[in-house]
Amino acid sequence: MLPAIFGLSGLTLTAEEVELIRRVDPLGFILFARNIENPQQVKLLTDALKHHTGRDNLPILIDQEGGRVARLGPPHWRTWPPALEFAHVYDQSPERGRAAVVCNYQALALDLAALGISVNCAPVLDVPEPGAHDIIGDRAFGSEPQVVAALGAALLEGFAKAGVVGVIKHIPGHGRALADSHEALPRVTVSAEALSRDLAPFKALANAPMAMTAHIVYDAWDDQRCATLSPAVIREVIREQIGFDGLLMTDDLDMKALEGPVPLSGCQSLAAGCDVVLNCWGRMSDMRGLAEQLPVATAACQRRLSEAMSIWVPPPSAPEIAALQADLLAERDRLMQGA
């Protein structure tokens, strides 16, 4: 198995993609708007991926957080509120806020399960700081670490009820970044003591099945390399201080925060201690380069993958999903309105 999660070029698999998949057996795949037209088409695409890999519990990822980060939307799928709305409910009543999160994200995850999507890249556990770049903003469950942790845990519970795996991100914390790592390499200069606030939600959810790294330099831990490429950050902060032992994936290797060829960044991230690389754009040259240069998945990677995907279960029937979602959304709305 190749320790890579690949994007795809379009709505259906090309002959080149099929050949690559069959030859190198990527760990998983990630879908974007260019891969999505309607429910029938998405289901055919995920079925094809499972067929060519021979894995029913294949990790097929998507970014469906709700709010402004949503790959599925009208007219075929409903819209979902951003995470911050649930923090406002939690402020009024922690019990109602937490229950509303479970209902909302179980219902959201049922949309994914119906399409054959098994992994959702959420929750965002970053704690936004005043003055930071707004790339996180309302994607976070507020600005208090304990609230972010409590509602992040409720989100993972909702996902698991639908048989969908969650990915905590962006470990060890993106909330202080003054730049968007899609466009530049952020540098965080505060002390290790100050960073303990950022780590708190990740520590609380250290038993999460999967996590995604941050392409950020933290001067207090490694002033030369961003977390994704830093053995010190991955070993001493993520694995030891936070205590995360789940499947650790990079953020997208093709973001401008990283320099150099994608295959080189992939090799460097695995050498630093990541389990799997994320390559989102579906460019055949990059995927072939990674296939040629990456080592095979380690035993630890395969163990973590197996444990993470144990959450996946075959979805209910379409009528059962529709009825369950209706009940969940009615209960969510009741809770959010304080009824």
Q: Is the pLDDT of residue 200 over 90?
A: yes
Residues 49-65: what's their mean pLDDT? 98
Domain annotation covers residue 143: yes
Residues 117-127: what's their mean pLDDT? 97
CB burial class (10 A; 0-12, 13-18, 19+) of residue 276? Answer: buried
List, by residue number, the catalytic residues.
182, 251
Express as a percent the part of the chain with pLDDT over 70.
Answer: 100
Domains contained in the chain, number:
1
**pLDDT tens per residue across span 224-262:** 999 999 999 999 999 999 999 999 999 999 987 788 899
The confidence score (pLDDT) of residue 302 equals 98
Domain annotation covers residue 50: no
Range of the domain at 270: 2-30+73-336
Lowest mean pLDDT among 50-64, 97-111, 246-260, 312-326: 246-260
Q: What is the CATH number of the domain that holds 96?
A: 3.20.20.300
Q: Is the pLDDT of residue 282 over 90?
A: yes
C-alpha to C-alpha distance for 217 and 227, rounded to whole angstroms: 6
Q: Is the pLDDT of residue 339 over 70?
A: no
Q: Is the pLDDT of residue 132 over 90?
A: no
Measured in whole angstroms, the distance separating CA 84 from the mean position of its chain's CA atoms is: 18
The confidence score (pLDDT) of residue 162 equals 98
**pLDDT tens per residue across span 180-199:** 777 778 899 999 999 999 99
Residues 275-304: what's their mean pLDDT? 97
**pLDDT tens per residue across span 134-165:** 888 999 999 999 999 999 999 999 999 999 99
Helical pair 284-293 and 262-272, crossing angle rounded to 10 deg: 40
Domain annotation covers residue 38: no
What pTM did the predictor assign? 0.96
Residues 17-28: what's their mean pLDDT? 98
**pLDDT tens per residue across span 86-104:** 999 999 999 999 999 999 9
The confidence score (pLDDT) of residue 133 equals 83
Of 102, 206, 202, 122, give the one whose Cα is nearest residue 165: 122
C-alpha to C-alpha distance for 39 and 301, rounded to whole angstroms: 32
Number of helices (H), then strands (E), belonging to the chain: the values are 11, 12
Average pLDDT, the chain: 96
CB 7 within 8 A of CB 282: yes
Instruction: Identify whether 123 is preceded by a cis peptide bond (ω within 30 of 0).
Output: yes
